[in-house]
Amino acid sequence: MIRSKAVAFLFCMVLAGTPCAFAANKPYALTVDPQALAVAQAAFNAMGGSQAFIGYQDSVASGMVTISTGGTAISYPITMKSKGLRETRVELQRSTGTNIRIVNQGQGVIIKPDGSVKTL
């Protein structure tokens, strides 16, 4: 049970920390929502808080992610993998090919379907 909660938390954290590569290159402002922070903290505590991560090892989660651009929603298959707390891999399958985001010990890359690599 703790493992599934940890995977869900990791999934949320990866998505929250990943800039959307599909959005237009527009400047945007981040706002802090105190109510959202309180909900996130309550969810984290409900999952066992920091104690839940002591025995955390590896995980794999897959599903669909929906991206809305210009009022049109498109869903793509996504697979998220982790090894411990410092290595992650996200594979997003689009019609143009698979985008891969790899982060290892705080350093990462995005590998695009055409083979180009962007350092994070």
Structural domain span for residue 114: 2-119
Q: Cα separation of 1 and 6, whole Å?
A: 9
pLDDT tens figures, 36-48: 889 989 988 888 8
More confident residue, 102 or 1: 102
Instruction: Return the structure tokens found at 37.
Output: 């922070």
Q: How many domains does the structure of the chain reveal?
A: 1
pLDDT value at position 71?
80
Average pLDDT in the 60-83 region? 89
Percent of the chain clearing pLDDT 90 (strictly above): 38
pLDDT band at 13 (very low <50, low <70, confident <90, very high): low
Residues 6+ apart with CB under 8 A from 13: none
pLDDT of residue 117: 93
Residues in Cβ contact with 51 at an 8 Å cutoff, skipping those fewer than 6 apart: none
Answer yes or no: is pLDDT of 1 > 50: no
